[in-house]
Amino acid sequence: MEAAKRFFTQALAVVGYAPERVTTDGHDSYPRAIRETLGADVLHRTNKYLNNLIEQDHRGIKQRYYPMRGCGKLPISSAFLPSF
């Protein structure tokens, strides 16, 4: 519980305002920590798939990368990743 409160307090200090909604994995200490640090108006969602936006964003790259097994040679890597 204390670790969750510290995390939300630090997040509030960095951002400067309380968010409208928070998505977590559903741990028991999160609802109370959110209420006490961010306020009762914050919507708490507990869907593990909603908390995974970054993973969903690069799904297309992952689908191309896995069959290639890591691009062992630089010319292959430079064709896949144009920044090389």
Cut 0.75: pTM above it? no
pLDDT score for 9: 94
pLDDT score for 56: 66
- The better pLDDT of the pair 76, 14 is held by 14
Smallest CA-to-CA distance from 36 within 26, 48, 44, 25 is with 44
Please, what is the Cα angle at 69 between 67 and 73, to 5 degrees?
120
Neighbours of 76 (CB within 10 A): 12
- The better pLDDT of the pair 48, 42 is held by 42
